[in-house]
Structure 1
Amino acid sequence: MKTALLFGSSGLVGGHLLNQLIKDTNYSKIKLFVRSDAEISDPKVDIIKTDFNSLENHKEDIKGDDCFFCIGTTKHNSPDKDDYRRVELEIPKEVAQIAKSNLVNSFIFVSALYANPKSSGEYIRFKGQVEEELKELNFPKLAILRPSFLIGDRKEKRVSEMIGIFVFKLLSPLLLGPLKKMKPIHSETVAKAMIRTANENLEKNIFESNEIDELVLN
């Protein structure tokens, strides 16, 4: 029986991931790292109120078998450039470094479509830089998932994303070959794929959006 470390349980993917981890018999304990008190009561869940500006103080907590990281933000929610950079770049890198030092076996990271450390866009560049850091840390098992537009019930409505999902749903039949990875994907599918990558020995560690879908269907 394993211990899961979960960062980002309040998000679209993280919410589904938490529910699935609770049901998954591979896990006897789930450490939930949250900024504020979480409204959940389950014997498997250990809620750890976390100061993300002082993660070293939680080094003893960041111990377990599989670390699932799906924290993210938007420019709207983090208008301050330094805060945005910290959430998207510094926090995932720091969590991964601590997890590695504590001999956590696997790190499962939700990245982004077209993640690239040399991109001119901050969001894509930060995701790409985190990916590079994760590769250098040499976890025994690493999975990087790059979902396209996420389908699901968000607590907040993102108009631009809703328009994007609508447009790409219409275009989905035309998205073939290398364009398949642009098709919208359900957040629950991403969560299921994260658990599968942590519990199976797969031949690769980077999964584009269409490959995430295939992981769950196979």
Structure 2
Amino acid sequence: MSSALVLGSTGLCGSAILKYAQASDSFSKVTTVTRRKVDGVDAGVEQIVEPDSANWSKTLPESQVVFSGIGTTRAAAGSFAEQYKIDHDLNLELAKAAKANGATTYVLVSSTGASASSFLPYLRMKGELDDAVKDLDFEKTIILRPGPLLGDRTKEFKGQGEGTLRAIGTWLHRSAFQRLLSYPIYGDEVGKAAVKLATTLGPGYHIIDAKDLLAASDP
């Protein structure tokens, strides 16, 4: 069995990844690195608490499989420039540190529509990160591109239109019309699919689009 590291485990997708990783028989050990302690996790999960994320790359343990659900919003970060530092720069720094520590599998939660050539800053940022992680050449790289995310957010979450989008997404979820909103998906489904794909896909570079990600969360 291999060891797993979950980054961003206080967020919507990261917390779900942690939930399924700690329940999986595929991992002998699960570790998190967070700004604050995560409540309600198994006693066997090792929690590394470092309030300053700038120091996270120095604290990463050796882990064969690394999941990253790190991400924020422009509103929460204060500006797009500050969001970029987290969504792109921090993610890439940690991916590089994981590779240096011997990680062979890297699973990244990206976004549907991500492309380095997109005219939308958010999708361009996500695409740039996807490409940069690909260039690190892990034995297995899995890029998850979910549609609109559904589920309960933390109190700190700030996102424009969140209530309206969630209401529409919940209504369309797994309906005949789900493609109209790019296959909305619950964070819990992303977590389930992430762990499943990490342990079943073979080596190589895999991009899992919104439709296939939703299917991968099925039993």
* TM-score exceeds 0.5: yes
Interval containing the TM-score (normalised by the shorter chain): 0.7 to 0.9
Q: Deviations over 1:33-66 (max 9, x none)?
A: 10123334533211112332134422xx331111
CA drift at 1:29: 1.4
Structure-1-length-normalised TM-score: 0.88
CA drift at 1:143: 0.5
What runs of 5+ residues in structure 1 fail to find an aligned partner? none
| Aligned equivalents of 1:29, 1:198: Cα separation in 2 | 15
CA drift at 1:215: 1.5
Question: Equivalent residue of 2:135, what SS?
Answer: helix
Give the match for residue 115 of structure 1.
Answer: 114
Q: Deviations over 1:100-130 (max 9, x none)?
A: 1122010000000100112232221111011
CA drift at 1:198: 1.1
Q: Is the 8 A contact 1:62 1:98 kept in 2?
A: no
| Aligned equivalents of 1:169, 1:15: Cα separation in 2 | 20
C-alpha distance 159-117 of structure 1, shift in aligned 2 (>3 A): closer
Deviating more after overlay: 179-188 vs 122-131: 179-188
Structure-2-length-normalised TM-score: 0.87
| Aligned equivalents of 2:177, 2:41: Cα separation in 1 | 45
Identity over aligned pairs, percent: 26
What value does the CA root-mean-square deviation take over the aligned residues?
2.2
Give the match for residue 214 of structure 2.
Answer: 213
What runs of 5+ residues in structure 2 fail to find an aligned partner? none
Pair 1:53 & 2:47 matched:
no
C-alpha distance 66-80 of structure 1, shift in aligned 2 (>3 A): same
Question: Equivalent residue of 2:142, what SS?
Answer: strand
Structure-to-structure mapping, 1:116-155, within 5 angstroms: 116-155=115-154
Task: Say how many residue pairs are matched.
Answer: 213
CA drift at 1:167: 3.2
CA drift at 1:81: 4.0
Pair 1:6 & 2:9 matched:
no
Question: Equivalent residue of 1:118, what SS?
Answer: coil
| Aligned equivalents of 1:195, 1:118: Cα separation in 2 | 29
Q: Is the 8 A contact 2:33 2:49 kept in 1?
A: yes
Give the match for residue 161 of structure 2.
Answer: 160
Q: Deviations over 1:142-172 (max 9, x none)?
A: 1101111111122247461331233355565
Give the match for residue 72 of structure 2.
Answer: 73
C-alpha distance 215-55 of structure 1, shift in aligned 2 (>3 A): same
Question: Equivalent residue of 1:37, what SS?
Answer: coil
C-alpha distance 136-181 of structure 1, shift in aligned 2 (>3 A): farther
Deviating more after overlay: 128-137 vs 37-46: 37-46
Question: Equivalent residue of 1:139, what SS?
Answer: coil
Give the match for residue 15 of structure 2.
Answer: 15
Question: Equivalent residue of 1:64, what SS?
Answer: coil
Give the match for residue 39 of structure 1.
Answer: 39
List 4+ stretches of structure 1 deviating above 6 A: none
